[in-house]
Amino acid sequence: MTLRPLLILVLLFSVRAGAREGYSFTLDDQPIHPTIYPVQGKRMGEPAAGDVTKVQDFSIVLREAGHYSFRSDPDSNLLHGRINEGPERCVALRLRGGEPLPPELLKNPGPLWGLILEERTLQETPPTLIDPQRTFVTCTGSISPAGFDLATRLHYFSFRSGPNPALQDQAVLPELLQARFIDLELREEDSISVLPISRALPLVNLNIKGGSLVHTRSLATNRNLRFLKLRSLRGLRSLEFARQLPNLRVLKVDETEVTDPAPLASCRELRLLSLSATGVNTLPPLEALPVLRDLRLHSTPLAKKKAMIRPLRSKMNILIKNWDPSIRAFEEADRKNPPPASPILFVGSSSIRMWNLPASFPNQPILNRGFGGSEMSDAIRYFDRIVLPYRPRLLLLYEGDNDIGNGETPDQVVADYQRFAHLVRTRLPDTHFAFLPIKPSLKRWNLWPQMARANEAIHRLCEKDSHLHYLDIVTPMLGKDGKPKPALFAADGLHLNAAGYRAWTLVVSSWLAEHTPGP
């Protein structure tokens, strides 16, 4: 064999081997993209064996890389699965009270990937179902001391408080000495001690939501923590424990009474910090946080200090507005009126939201998912909720206008565009994706040089990649003097009027015609 064919074979083998190293998922033969929660992996988006994901209501522990095929149960009590071409088996189970095991598990009682116990103790559960190192155990309702000896060996544990009497300042949790991942969902009236958690020295990922905690200072002993979420907690005022957590990469303390982020100066690995709906009035010690790239401040006194926030926008993504209500409204609308299959999807800021798309493109399966005031980073953040579920055949994006208006640099807009385009390319490979460049406007004409630089850079990217499309809506908006045509704008000088949208419609219609199958 000559060298050239041998080299080709080696390259083909490498590509196929590389494909097997990744993770992909289907549920009932439909592609799904569940969130991966890092435990063994270093960061979000880079899953590894030992990380956690959620399929339907089941939290499960990932095994080796490969394609995971899941099959649901009509009663939602079982989840079947397999990896690649391996044998299918029950991988997750819900057991209530004194229910017997399903017959198939009596015949093949191997360890599960995920187990939910509702008002049932660990002691009542056959030990063959649980591999302490690789089974995610969720207890709901209440926790009985029965079986606590097993709990000390569990690596993955979750508790959801149920309709039992409120938990009051008691050590209701087992000694989770070996836990790597702990998830607690409490009711508002619950109050628990976190001392048992503080003794889980290998703990990497901790999530507690609701209720209140006592002994929070003891969390300082969890020095291996990398991902920490303490949300909607009464009485959480201090982050002093964080001074002893040098490996922390993600911290979310939303809807708490925290006011002072100064203790975070010790968390030099911190990449994402969410202080939303807190009383925080000062910036965290940014000079001590060299890799912080995502700061979330919506519904805080600090978010109103635009002069303080604006200079930071060129260095990191800053969320100062909560878009969750808008996104939930989209999801509720989908439940009431299911959207068309494989739609032509428009995503973006107010220029998309205010566009009467059905009138501009009649007899087309149009879907509008614009939310006014949004930025490119918001489209990325909500990609899994406003783009991915629809699996559009055509996708058009208008963002960047507010980004530049809020102080971001052209380079940051371009980088965010590339991140969004990468999501489309990797997760929606059959979707044609077009970018509507940042429009020139009367109100923001002073920012046009920065906007034009971002547009030009994105245009160059599109020219080099046949999967990316750039729709020139700028040229028809400029007059002979090179300035925006006033006749295209509403009274505010920023948004389009009917004439402005007609100009956009002509450009977009031409592209749609090229990518819409004929009769």
Query: Does some domain include residue 277?
Result: yes
| The predicted structure's pLDDT at residue 168 | 67
Whether residues 67 and 176 fall in one domain? yes
User: Domain for residue 8, yes or no?
Assistant: no
36/88 same-domain check: yes
Q: Is residue 5 assigned to a domain?
A: no
Cβ count near 45 (within 10 Å):
9
Domain contains 298: yes
Q: Tokens 């209440």 appear where? A: 142
Asked whether residue 371 falls in the same domain as residue 223, the answer is no
Same domain, yes or no: 186 and 264: no
Whether residue 4 is contained in a domain is answered as: no
- In sign, the C-alpha dihedral spanning 353, 297, 33, 414 is positive
Do 441 and 494 form a contact (C-beta atoms < 8 A)?
A: yes
* H/E run at residue 381: helix 376-381
**Could you tell me which of 194, 168, 191 has the C-alpha nearest to residue 182?**
194
Both 340 and 478 in one domain: the answer is yes
Q: Are residues 430 and 354 in the same domain?
A: yes
User: Does one domain contain both 188 and 227?
Assistant: yes
Do 173 and 269 lie in one domain? The reply is no
Domain's final residue, options 307, 322, 337: 322
Distance CA(492)–CA(120), nearest Å, equals 62
Residue 448 falls within a domain, yes or no? Answer: yes
Torsion of CA 233, 235, 240, 244, to 10 degrees: -40
Kindly provide the residue ranges of all beta strands, DSSP E only, lying in 57-193, ordered along the sequence. Answer: 58-61, 66-72, 78-83, 89-96, 114-118, 136-141, 156-161, 168-170, 181-185, 191-193
If 0-12 CB within 10 Å is exposed, 13-18 middle and 19+ buried, where does residue 347 land?
A: buried
CATH number of the domain residue 464 falls in: 3.40.50.1110
Specify the pLDDT at position 143: 64
- Out of 322, 338, 367, a domain closes at 322
Please name the residues in contact with 415: beta carbons below 8 A apart, sequence gap of 6 or more. none
Residue 222's pLDDT is 96
Q: Tell me: do 159 and 304 sit in the same domain.
A: no
Q: Are residues 248 and 389 in the same domain?
A: no
Choose one of 296, 322, 348: the last residue of a domain.
Answer: 322
Q: The domain containing residue 331 runs over which residues?
A: 325-515
Ramachandran area for residue 193 (φ above 0: left; ψ -120 to 50: alpha; else beta): beta
Q: Please identify which residue in the block is written with the tokens 């079986």.
A: 147
Query: Are 217 and 243 in a shared domain?
Result: no
In a domain, 358, yes or no: yes
Please tell me whether residues 122 and 206 are part of one structural domain.
yes
Tell me which residue of 219, 224, 209 sits closest to 239, measured CA to CA: 219
Q: What per-residue confidence (pLDDT) applies to 439?
A: 98
- Low-confidence residues in the chain, pLDDT < 70: 1-21, 44-45, 142-148, 164-166, 168-172, 517-519
Domain of 312, CATH number, reads 3.80.10.10
Number of compact structural domains in the chain: 3
Q: Look at residue 304 and tell me if it is in a domain.
A: yes
Strands 394-398 and 366-370: unpaired
